[in-house]
Amino acid sequence: MSILPGEDKAGLAVALKYAPGDTAPRVVAKGRGLIAAEIVARAREHGVFVHESPELVALLAQVDIDRHIPPALYLAVAELLAWLYRIEYQGSSEAPPPLSLPG
């Protein structure tokens, strides 16, 4: 799965990446202010979904870069990824690839 950034009203952004074989999504970028704006701008340039959830972003911002999200956030992030997965393939004639989230 591609990078999944989020941003809150305070200008905080966190980008996640989940790839098949990963045990959990990883934080691949995070920042405040101009860095947050750049994370979001680059995501949008590349057609990557931007989800705004201040509470989730605040929790994810506590995770170090290149670290997997903690098990306490698995359910919230899995629900977001599953929702995004459905959005990406809604109305598409292409069958979606199998969804594999950490168990």
pLDDT digits (tens, 9 = 90+) for 82-100: 887 787 777 555 544 544 4
pTM confidence score: 0.73
Reported as a pLDDT band with limits 50, 70 and 90, residue 41 is very high
The letter for the amino acid at 2 is S
Between 62 and 2, the more confident residue is 62
pLDDT digits (tens, 9 = 90+) for 1-33: 233 445 445 589 999 988 888 889 999 999 998
Considering the four listed CATH numbers 3.40.50.300, 3.40.50.1970, 3.40.140.10, 3.40.1690.10, the one that applies to the domain covering 4-89 is 3.40.1690.10
pLDDT at residue 53, rounded to an integer: 83
